[in-house]
Structure formats: structure tokens, C-alpha cells
Amino acid sequence: MKLYYDLHLHSCLSPCGDNEMTPFNLVNTMKVFGYDLIALTDHNSCRNCRAAMQAGKAAGITVVPGMELCTSEEIHVVCLFPDADSAEAFSALVRDNIPPVNNRPEIFGEQLVMDDADTVLDNEPLLLNTASYFSIDEVPALVAQYGGACFPAHIDRHSYSILSALGDFSEDLPVAAFELTMQADEAHYRDTYPALKDKLLLRDSDAHYLENILLPSQTINLTENTPQALIERLRQGI
Ligand SMILES: [Zn+2]
Ligand SMILES: [Zn+2]
């Protein structure tokens, strides 16, 4: 089935995410806009994923639990998981592998953990938008251990991307999908980088504010509308 997707979205848990971007507001806005399948991918944490999945179940939209992990090379990688338990286990591992620096909400913004009805459960004390201790070379296997799949984020951006950090793609990196921004010229990237020729190229909004949410334009073919089917598709490439 052909599904409208956006697999890179932030909530109020990301320091740079708007406090209005609650799991409930995000999920219900995506539903109203006509999306079938979305992923919540806060910086270095999955702590709002369970609430977003519960809100998604009530609204009738599939929510994939995920995270935008920052590697030690400052490469952003979108990591997606089959269920909330595996996402939270991975999130706990990442929390133990980021610098022990406390957030300063007045500078970086609050990091709100919420339930599916906009009740604040916690304000995450550790600053989440730091580089973790995991290298890009070890992330795909690590994510797979938790049943998930991952793809390097916004590869055409000039910061926090695999190209800005490394200059090229390693043929050995075991990922089958990459993400472009909405503005990127896909043909240019396929022509310039032969390593991308059999890869799935996705486009997501990376929305941090409700007003950044776009009308659906990108589709993906899955056997069914579930996180597991998406993860299997992400492992296949083209
Ligand atoms: Zn990013
Ligand atoms: Zn992002």
C-alpha cells in the first residue's frame, strides 16, 4: 500500500522543539493534514514516543517510535524501532552515552516529557542536543540489535550531516536508506555519489514547530501500515 509519510519530526522534548509541539498536537495535526505514517524523532531521546503512539492509536494514524541520534562525528541519524519498549530501551542506552551536561532551559529551551493528553510528566534534565559517544560506523548494528533500522538525516545539509562531517559516503556503511531535505535535487545526489545508486532516498520535514508541518507529498510502498513493515522496507533499499 502507498502511504503518505513523514519520518522526521520533533516534539517539545527536543530543546529546539516548540512547547506547543506536544505529542497530542503533533499527531493530531499530522492526521488532519492527511498523513498515514509518521515517526517521532527527538534529539537523542525516545521519551515522548509512547505518548505519541497512544495519541496515534486514538487518532487513527501510525506512529513509529524513533530518535534523531547525534553521532560522535556530529552526524544526525534517524533511528526507528518496531515498538515503544525497544525504542525506550535504546533511549536509555543513549542516555548513558551522551555527555553528562545539564540542560539550561533559559538558553536551549525546555525538554518536556508528556503523556498523550498534554500532561507534563518530566523536564528531561540532561541536555539532549549533544554528540553521543557512538560512531556512525557502529550505529546501524546497534540499532539493529534493538530491532530497528536507521538512515543518515538531511544528507544535503551543511551541518550535522554525513556529507558535512565526512565529505562522502562509505560503501561499507550498512544502511539502505538516506534522507534528503525537501529542497534537495535527488538526481544530483544520485549522479554525484555512486554509493547512493541502490539506496532508498526519503524526504521528511524535520518539523520543530506546528507551523513547520507540511502538506503530505512523499509516499512509500509498504506491505502494511505498521512500524515493522517500515523497518523491513528501510532495510531493503530501492
Ligand atoms: Zn538533524
Ligand atoms: Zn531533526
**Dihedral, CA of residue 188, residue 233, residue 71 and residue 184, to nearest 10:** 20
Please tell me what DSSP assigns to residue 214: P
What CATH number does the domain located at 2-234 have?
3.20.20.140
Relative to the alpha carbon of 16, which ligand is closest? Answer: 2
Residue 146 confidence (pLDDT)? 98
- What is the pTM (predicted TM-score) of this model? 0.97
Pairing relationship of beta strands 200-203 and 37-43 according to DSSP bridges: unpaired
Ligand 1 centroid, distance to 176 Cα (angstroms): 19
Relative to the alpha carbon of 208, which ligand is closest? Answer: 2
**Dihedral, CA of residue 40, residue 99, residue 161 and residue 5, to nearest 10:** 0
Q: What residues does each domain of the chain span?
A: 2-234
Relative to the alpha carbon of 6, which ligand is closest? Answer: 2
Return the half-sphere exposure (C-beta side, CA atoms, 13 A cut-off) of residue 174.
11
The strand pairing partners of 37, in sequence order, are 5, 62
Residue 155 and residue 163 in contact, taking contact as beta carbons nearer than 8 Å:
yes
CA atoms of 166 and 178, how far apart (whole Å): 15
Residue 191 confidence (pLDDT)? 95
Relative to the alpha carbon of 212, which ligand is closest? Answer: 2
Ligand 1 centroid, distance to 68 Cα (angstroms): 7
Ion ligand 2 residues within 5 Å by Cβ: 68, 206
Ion ligand 1 residues within 5 Å by Cβ: 76, 153, 160
Residues in the chain: 238
> Residue 51: which H helix or E strand, with range?
helix 49-59
Relative to the alpha carbon of 157, which ligand is closest? Answer: 1
Ligand 1 centroid, distance to 47 Cα (angstroms): 18
CA atoms of 44 and 60, how far apart (whole Å): 27
CA atoms of 5 and 205, how far apart (whole Å): 10
Relative to the alpha carbon of 76, which ligand is closest? Answer: 1
Ligand 2 centroid, distance to 117 Cα (angstroms): 23
And the C-alpha cell for 47? Answer: 521519551
CA atoms of 114 and 6, how far apart (whole Å): 21
Per-residue pLDDT tens digits of the chain, which is 238 residues long: 999 999 999 999 999 999 999 999 999 999 999 999 999 999 999 999 999 999 999 999 999 999 999 999 999 999 999 999 999 999 999 999 999 999 999 999 999 999 999 999 999 999 999 999 999 999 999 999 999 999 999 999 999 999 999 998 888 899 999 999 999 999 999 999 999 989 999 999 999 999 999 999 999 999 999 999 999 999 998 8
Ligand 1 centroid, distance to 85 Cα (angstroms): 24
Pairing relationship of beta strands 76-80 and 62-70 according to DSSP bridges: antiparallel
Ligand 2 centroid, distance to 69 Cα (angstroms): 9
Ligand 1 centroid, distance to 197 Cα (angstroms): 23
Relative to the alpha carbon of 161, which ligand is closest? Answer: 1
Relative to the alpha carbon of 41, which ligand is closest? Answer: 2
Please tell me what DSSP assigns to residue 126: B
Ligand 1 centroid, distance to 116 Cα (angstroms): 25
Residue 230 confidence (pLDDT)? 98
